[in-house]
A and B are shown apart, each in its own frame.
Chain A
Amino acid sequence: MARSQAIVAEGLTKSFGKTRALAGVDLSVAEGTVLGLLGPNGAGKTTTVRILTTLLKPDAGRALVAGIDVAKHPDRVRARIGLTGQYAAVDENLTGRENLILFGRLYRLAKRDAVRRAEELLTQFDLADAASRVVKTYSGGMRRRLDLAASLVVSPPVLFLDEPTTGLDPRGRLGMWETIEGLAGSGTTVLLTTQYLEEADRLADRIVVIDHGAIIAEGTAEELKARVGGERLDVVVAQHDDVPTARRILEALGGAEAQVDVAERRVTAPLPGGAKRLAAAVREFDSSGVELVDFVLRRPTLDDVFLSLTGHAADVTGNGNGGGNDAPPNGKVKAEADLALAGTKER
């Protein structure tokens, strides 16, 4: 009953100088499914992808992609994978069409077939109107779409997407999600890395959470969600003296330990039941006489997830992956996560 695995990694380790980028990563992705590799900058996401796509040799460990050993037969792996990195890796001085034809021909398609395939992809990725324009004139979203199209020239059975939506505006991100969903629906195995919990939740069948080069949790979105306790109530009190009271109230309501930021007079705790329990929370605070400055019900963020999984906040500034590859191209994307899920599943 076990489906065959499109990607298998065992004990991958990699160091850059003294920096340990990967400290033993095991992965397996069943054929036709989507795996979300979730983690902050510098967690080792890009390093993992670069090893699986033959761009990097691991110090130790083994990886099979489409059943082929990446270290032994890199060329055979390359013919079966598509890779879209964090940079839109297309030639800016060529038109969209020329880029796709170039990559098709480098994939060893005959010229006629490369041309035909380019036209198909341009239509499919909504770039037909811009096909004859030089890529330099494209918007960020268009470049990403072209980049993704370029990795699909031969319809590879396994697709690697390294932070496919980093740097895109909300509309571009939504478009990219729909495209990825379409690919996944057509049977392509996808490994995508992301800093966005919302993205992993929406696209991935299974999620692996990675931090400091090691896997710290994995499961389906539902499994992870069930463990973290869903929505959180964020309260800021007017008086410092009221912080302990607020904490007591929140812990009583949620039945879990609250996080306290004394300087900000902020108390945060899971609120099982979410909006349905909101009225009860308001009543409690009202009757206690605690004056509130802010009172927000929110979904957990990447920070909440990491806090509950590791006891430390997500290190969004990156912790110095020696390759520096985990940094987004514009260097300013932070780990904002609109929605989240979390939970621990001990390995």
Chain B
Amino acid sequence: MSSHTAEISPTLTRPTPPTVRANGLSDVVSDSLLIAWRSLKKIPRSPDWLIAATVQPIMFTLLFRYIFAGAIQSSLPVGVSAVNYLIAGIVAQSVVFNTMATGIGLTEDLQKGLMDRFRALPMTRSSVIVGRVLADVVLNAFVTMIGILAGLAAGFRPNGGAAEWSMTIALLVLTSLAFSWMMAFTGLSLKTVEAVNSVGFLWVFPLTFVSSAFVPTSTLPGWLRVFAENQPFTLLVNAVRGWLTGYPEVGNQGWLAAIWMVGVMVVFIPLSVWQYQRRTTR
């Protein structure tokens, strides 16, 4: 990095053209880290964001746990705790919800003209999105952790060992990445933060609710049940729930969920980069 330092004039009296060279893979990494750094910097400075990000997972966890746990207990097999059942679903849903920040952040940068500045710099193109996605995965981990802690306080009693927790964390990080890219595409396709919010919820809500997250899928009407039992979010929830609480059997659902997430990235990474180019060159 330091071998190609541009000469800097102490004043502006002599303009000095910076050294130019082709961008390589290491530049994608370093530029992405810079962008991730700047996205994360805002956290300690936005007390309002910090409060919202802390209170929301706590509120969701408590609401769902105390409102639904009693109602669904009877539809669960004997010996399965409704609290354990629900919290796993809430954690998975929270990870998906939090990825909306990626879309919103990118739309804000577009609106404020920051994207133009980035584009007029000799930096790597994809880093603007990659860096944002990385930062959002970190934020997502933070918010999700708070949700889990709130769950533990409200009676969540996971019995998974280190291996199960590791697999859970790995799958959730993968999910966060995949959905962040999906949201990146959404954000780059829309003009306002409000639109990103509504369009994001438009598919996040059905995806997370028509699933095994909050109720056993056996309680759903037939046609809805077919969708609910075969969609990736149910696979994710079942895997996380099974690993952490021992119910249901995970089987190959963890792998299938991981394959889905990789598939989402295979589709949405190129789509997002394409949309970024398209959007910023018009």
CB–CB B119/A155 < 8 A: no
Considering the complex, give the chain B residue whose CB is closest to the CB of A50: B116
Which of A66, A86, A107, A157 meets B121, CB within 8 Å?
A107
Interface residues on chain A, size class: 35 or more
Q: In the assembly, what is the distance between CA of A116 and CA of B6, in Å?
A: 12
CB–CB A182/B122 < 8 A: no
Which of B17, B37, B123 meets A157, CB within 8 Å?
B17
- The smallest beta-carbon distance between A124 and chain B, in angstroms, is 7
Q: Does B5 make an interface contact (CB < 8 A)?
A: yes
Q: In the assembly, what is the distance between CA of A53 and CA of B121, in Å?
A: 10
Q: Does A256 make an interface contact (CB < 8 A)?
A: no
Q: Does B20 make an interface contact (CB < 8 A)?
A: yes
Q: Contacts A55-B120, A157-B17, A186-B11 given; 12 further ones with Cβ under 8 A? A: A91-B38, A93-B45, A98-B38, A107-B123, A108-B1, A110-B1, A113-B5, A120-B10, A124-B12, A154-B18, A155-B16, A182-B12
- B residues less than 8 Å from A75 (CB atoms): 20, 22-23, 122
- B residues less than 8 Å from A275 (CB atoms): none
Q: In the assembly, what is the distance between CA of A98 and CA of B44, in Å?
A: 15
Q: In the assembly, what is the distance between CA of A45 and CA of B18, in Å?
A: 27
Q: Does A202 make an interface contact (CB < 8 A)?
A: no
Of residues 104 through 141 on chain B, the ones whose CB sits less than 8 Å from some CB of chain A are 112-114, 116-123
Tally of B interface residues using CB under 8 Å: 43
CB–CB B121/A155 < 8 A: no
8 contacts between A and B (CB under 8 A): A55-B120, A83-B120, A91-B114, A106-B118, A155-B8, A182-B12, A186-B13, A188-B15
CB–CB B120/A81 < 8 A: yes
Q: In the assembly, what is the distance between CA of A102 and CA of B39, in Å?
A: 11
Total number of A-B contacts with CB less than 8 angstroms?
A: 139
Q: In the assembly, what is the distance between CA of A157 and CA of B12, in Å?
A: 10
- B residues less than 8 Å from A188 (CB atoms): 12, 15
Q: Which 3 A-B pairs have the closest CB atoms?
A: A87-B113, A93-B42, A89-B117
Main SS of the interface on chain A? loop
- B residues less than 8 Å from A168 (CB atoms): none
Interface residues of A (CB under 8 A from B): 16, 50, 53-57, 66, 75-76, 78-81, 83, 85-94, 98, 102-103, 105-113, 116-117, 120, 124, 134, 150-152, 154-157, 182-183, 186-188, 323
Q: In the assembly, what is the distance between CA of A109 and CA of B45, in Å?
A: 26
CB–CB A16/B282 < 8 A: yes
CB–CB A90/B8 < 8 A: no
CB–CB A76/B20 < 8 A: yes
Which of A78, A150, A186 meets B122, CB within 8 Å?
A78
CB–CB A93/B15 < 8 A: no
CB–CB B20/A79 < 8 A: yes
Q: In the assembly, what is the distance between CA of A111 and CA of B34, in Å?
A: 11
- The smallest beta-carbon distance between A136 and chain B, in angstroms, is 8
Q: In the assembly, what is the distance between CA of A107 and CA of B6, in Å?
A: 9
CB–CB A108/B18 < 8 A: yes
Q: With contacts A55-B280, A105-B34, A106-B118 known, is A157 near B23, CB below 8 A?
A: no
- B residues less than 8 Å from A94 (CB atoms): 38, 41-42
Q: In the assembly, what is the distance between CA of A108 and CA of B22, in Å?
A: 11
CB–CB A102/B34 < 8 A: yes
Q: With contacts A16-B282, A89-B112 known, is A134 near B45, CB below 8 A?
A: yes
CB–CB B113/A124 < 8 A: no
Q: In the assembly, what is the distance between CA of A110 and CA of B34, in Å?
A: 13
CB–CB A56/B121 < 8 A: no
Q: With contacts A103-B121, A108-B4 known, is A90 near B17, CB below 8 A?
A: no
Q: In the assembly, what is the distance between CA of A117 and CA of B19, in Å?
A: 16
CB–CB B117/A103 < 8 A: yes
- A residues less than 8 Å from B42 (CB atoms): 93-94
Q: Does B252 make an interface contact (CB < 8 A)?
A: no
CB–CB A87/B121 < 8 A: no
Q: With contacts A75-B22, A108-B122, A113-B5 known, is A157 near B34, CB below 8 A?
A: no
Of residues 225 through 253 on chain B, the ones whose CB sits less than 8 Å from some CB of chain A are none
CB–CB A78/B120 < 8 A: yes
CB–CB A155/B5 < 8 A: no
- B residues less than 8 Å from A92 (CB atoms): 112
Which of A16, A54, A86, A186 meets B113, CB within 8 Å?
A86
Q: In the assembly, what is the distance between CA of A53 and CA of B281, in Å?
A: 11
- A residues less than 8 Å from B8 (CB atoms): 109, 113, 116-117, 120, 154-155
- The smallest beta-carbon distance between A55 and chain B, in angstroms, is 6
CB–CB A53/B282 < 8 A: no
- B residues less than 8 Å from A116 (CB atoms): 8
Which of A54, A134, A154 meets B6, CB within 8 Å?
A154
Q: In the assembly, what is the distance between CA of A108 and CA of B24, in Å?
A: 12
Q: Does B9 make an interface contact (CB < 8 A)?
A: yes
